[in-house]
Every structure is written in C-alpha cells, then in structure tokens.
Amino acid sequence: MSATGRRESVVVAAEQLRYACVLDWSMKLGLVVLAAGFLAYVSGILPAQVPLADLPRLWGLPAADYLRVTGMSGGWSWLAMLGTGDALSLAGLALLAGASVPCLLALLPAFAARRDWAYFSIALLLAGVLVLAASGLPGWHG
Amino acid sequence: MRDNQSIPRLLLHRGAVLFAVTCPALAWAAGAPDAGTAWWVWPLALFLVCFVLGVIAVPAGIGGGVLFVPIVSGFFPFHLDFVRGAGLLVALASALAAGPVLLRTGLADLRLALPLALVAAVGAIAGALIGLALPVSWVQTALGVTILCIVALMWRSKTSEFPEVSGPDPLAAALRINGIFHDRTLGRDVAWRVHRTPLALLLFAGIGMLAGLFGLGAGWANVPVLNLVMGAPLRVSAGTSGFVLSLVDSSAAWVYINKGALLAMIAAPSVIGMMLGAFIGARLLAVIRASAIRTLVIILLLLAGLRALAKGMGWWA
C-alpha cells in the first residue's frame, strides 16, 4: 500500500488524504440534512416547534429567555423532536459540528500502523475534546 | 476572452458590489420598525450576505465568522447569543467546505494543524462558556474593541510569502512538522519547516478562547501566528488556518448548541450561503494573491467594529 498520494506534483501524506475523504463525505452529509431540514422547515412540509411568524419577536431575546418563553430545553432535547423542521435543521448543524470526529478517528489506524504514537495521541485527545464538548458536560450545572 | 486571473477578480468585484449594495439596505432595515417586515426577509438577506462573505473569507485566510458576527450583530435584529452561535457554525461551515480541497492540495497540513488545534479547541470551550455567562453589553463592547484591534493587526502587520526559518525548534523536529506544497502562481514546489512551536501553542490557546467567546472563528489570528511566529509560508498558513478552524469552532459550537444559543432560522441560511460561497473561495485561493482582497476585508471590519462598539456602549441602539 502506498504511504502517500501525489497531487499536482506534491506528495501528500496518505492519512491527510484519508482525512480529506472522510471530511468530504461527513461535511456533505451534514449539508444535505441541513438543506433538506431547512427546506422542509420554511416550506411548511414539516411542522415547526416555534411558529415561523413568531420568530421575529423571539430572535431578539437572549438564548436562556428564548428557551424559557418557548418552553424548550437545551442540550440534546432536539433529538426527540426530529419530526419538526427546526429540529431537523438543527440535526444538520449538529452533523456539521460533529463532522471532524470521524475524520480524526479515521487517522488512528494510519498513525498506529506507523507507530507514530505522538500524533495518535494528539488525534485521539482532539476527538475526545470534541466528544466532551458535544456531551454538554462543560458548563453543566445539574 | 478572459484569462484565468481575471475571472476570479471579476467574481470578487461583483461580490463586493453585491455586498456594498446589501449592507446599507440592511442598515436601513435594521433601524426601521419591525411591523412591516415579513419573517422571511431577514433569513433571505442573511443568505445573500453570507454567500458573499464565503467567497471572500477563504482567500483572505479568515473563517467567515470574524466578518459574520460584527456585521450581523450590527445590522440584523438578532440577539448576540444567536449571532455568536451562528457565527461559529458559519466559520465552521466555511472551513469544512474548504477543508478537503486544502488538504488534498497540501495547502493545509495535518501535522502542523493537529497540535495547534488541540490546545485551541480547549481554549474555545472555555471562551464559549465565559461568553454565554457575561452580560451582552460587555460582550458587544469587547467584540467592538476586539474587531478594531483585528483591523489594526491586519493593517499594520506584515506577512511574508516565504519566511526564513533557519532550523526547526526541538518540538517541531520531534513532531516532524514540515512539508512541500505546489505554488501555482510560481509554478514550482516549495519546501517549508517551522520554528517557535511552544510559543505558537500558547498563542493558539488564547486564540481559541477568543474564538469561543465571540463566535468569531479565528483565521485573523491563526494566519499571523502560523506565518510570522512559526514561519510557515503564507499560503500554507492560510490553508492550515482554515483547517484548524474546522476543529476549534466545532468544540465551541457544541457549547452554543447545548445552551440553546443556536436558532436554525438564523444559522441555516447563514451556513448554506457561506458554504456555497466557500466552495468558490477555496478555488480562488490557488489562483489569486492572498493579499488581493485584504483591503476590502479591512474596510468591512472597520465599519462593523465601530458599529459593534457603538451598540455595546449604547451610542447607537
């Protein structure tokens, strides 16, 4: 197996090309879900958690007040409401925010095979930081 | 018949004209009573503005968020919490869209980016938590000051296409941070290496915190640190900066998502517009000089920074 790929006469590391490939797919998946969700949201194909006409009087509120007024909760609560257009759009945004995690994990076998433990650790730690942020634990007050 | 150089310039020119026409209209609309404005006007305006921002952000070596947050918080009727959340997603989307191209062409380097992204991502989470806990007028004022500092930094700081690096520092040598990229404007391969890696790691932790605090992205600071402090070539700095943003902004974006500071109606049209623009912007990076759109970006940031400062201080509600 080739350790590198050749692009425009420049040798690009195989793991970098692998990262680019996974990122390409995960980014496009997020974009498709986002675009489909948003289209369904604004066209009325899917119902909205918050009526579209109410948004202009709500989007000027702080996030905490918005949640309180609309009766919504933060965290991953949107996951239970994927049948609504705004939650499906949010799922697309969450996919984009999480797009780098599979890319980082895809690097691990390549780094391990080359016994590049420094970069194996860095990639693993970075993936861990992203998963920790996604978990909602930072800033959680019970 | 137009040559390869004039087509990107024509696109940039038309984008700048569209932006120049759109912003005064938004400024007027932002000051107008809400009663007569349909809900869809603002998302549509967001989409158009973000498309133009996406085209110019990548060649400028910035993530889009640094333009998005001050402009949208200044001229649109949304709360700063949602604007910062959307700003992070916008910067993230721009970076994600450009990432595969930048990585495949060697303009972004994985070995250079990953250690810096790790410390910056931790800083970004801390910054996002602090930003959502502070009063909005403080954040708005600090945002205005920060944007004006960025303008001064971009105006005064020199960049170097190919900085002189006498030798790698021990950490860069141990991590084997070096590479070769193909410069299409010069028509040759360029080998590069870096130095002062420990200092850069410290600076990236601070940059990450600012990115999370203001939802700005951080290309404005990434590029000078990569180029002037570490000595990476300007094109590698701009490309790697975009890639680092894709990781740093992800971590801060999750904080905003979990705190409910992300409205689909604001973030979705912004992200879609920015990503479509960034697909074009990433291709422009290889064929135009990175400094070509610098003046346009500086003027936009100056206006937006003054507006943010005036809003935060209560001089211009």
Contact B272 A38 (CB under 8 A): yes
pLDDT, average across residues B157-179: 85
Q: Sort out which chain B residues have CB atoms less than 8 A from A46's CB and list them.
A: none
Query: Which residue among B37, B132, B246 sits closest to A100, beta carbon to beta carbon?
Result: B246
Contact B125 A64 (CB under 8 A): no
DSSP state of B160: -
Q: Tell me what percent of the residues of chain B surpass a pLDDT of 70.
A: 82
Query: Which residue among A35, A85, A118 sits closest to B272, beta carbon to beta carbon?
Result: A35
**What pLDDT score does A3 carry?**
45
pLDDT of residue B175 exceeding 90: yes
Contact A100 B115 (CB under 8 A): no
Dist. CA A2–CA A18, nearest whole Å: 12
**What pLDDT score does A93 carry?**
92
Residue B145 exposure: Cα atoms within 13 Å on the Cβ side: 9
Binned at pLDDT 50, 70 and 90, residue B53 comes out as confident
| Residue appearing with tokens 């959502």 | B132
pLDDT, average across residues B67-72: 86
Q: Tell me what percent of the residues of chain B surpass a pLDDT of 90.
A: 31
Query: Which residue among B105, B118, B260 sits closest to A126, beta carbon to beta carbon?
Result: B118
B 251-310 near A (Cβ less than 8 A)? 251-255, 257-269, 271-272, 275
CA-derived radius of gyration, chain B: 19
Name the residue ranges covered by the structural domains of chain A.
14-135
Residue of higher predicted confidence among B12 and A43: A43
pTM score, whole prediction: 0.83
pLDDT, average across residues B72-81: 89
Q: Sort out which chain B residues have CB atoms less than 8 A from A123's CB and list them.
A: 114
pLDDT of residue B58 exceeding 80: no
Binned at pLDDT 50, 70 and 90, residue B10 comes out as low
**What pLDDT score does B33 carry?**
44
pLDDT of residue B17 exceeding 70: no
Contact A56 B42 (CB under 8 A): yes
Q: CA-nearest residue of chain A to B253?
A: A97
A112 Cβ neighbours under 8 A, 6+ residues apart: A120
**What pLDDT score does B107 carry?**
85
Question: Mean pLDDT in each 10-residue stretch from start to end of chain A (142 residues)?
Answer: 48 89 94 92 91 91 92 84 90 94 96 95 97 82 50
Residue B4, SS3 per DSSP: coil
State the nearest Cα–Cα gap between A78 and chain B, in angstroms: 10
pLDDT, average across residues B267-282: 83
Dist. CA B79–CA B31, nearest whole Å: 15
Q: Sort out which chain A residues have CB atoms less than 8 A from B118's CB and list them.
A: 122, 125-126, 129
Do residues A8 and B105 lie in contact, with contact meaning Cβ atoms separated by under 8 Å?
yes
Is the confidence metric ipTM above 0.95 for this complex? no
**What pLDDT score does B32 carry?**
47
**Cα–Cα nearest to B268, from A69, A95, A135, A18:** A95
**What pLDDT score does B317 carry?**
62
pLDDT of residue B95 exceeding 50: yes
pLDDT of residue B13 exceeding 60: no
Q: CA-nearest residue of chain B to A56?
A: B39
Contact A20 B104 (CB under 8 A): yes
Instruction: Give the A:B interface size as CB pairs under 8 Å.
Output: 201
Contact B103 A72 (CB under 8 A): no
**What pLDDT score does A106 carry?**
96
Residue of higher predicted confidence among B256 and B221: B256
State the nearest Cα–Cα gap between B154 and chain A, in angstroms: 28
Residue of higher predicted confidence among A127 and B96: A127
Do residues A110 and A14 lie in contact, with contact meaning Cβ atoms separated by under 8 Å?
yes
Q: Is B93 on the interface with A (CB under 8 A)?
A: yes
Binned at pLDDT 50, 70 and 90, residue B193 comes out as very high
Choose, out of A4, A7, A8, A12, the residue to mutate when testing the contact with B (most B CBs < 10 Å).
A12
**What pLDDT score does A1 carry?**
36
**What pLDDT score does B184 carry?**
75
**What pLDDT score does A2 carry?**
39
pLDDT, average across residues B247-265: 92
Do residues B74 and A93 lie in contact, with contact meaning Cβ atoms separated by under 8 Å?
no
Residue of higher predicted confidence among B52 and B249: B249
Query: Which residue among A10, A15, A134 sits closest to B181, beta carbon to beta carbon?
Result: A10
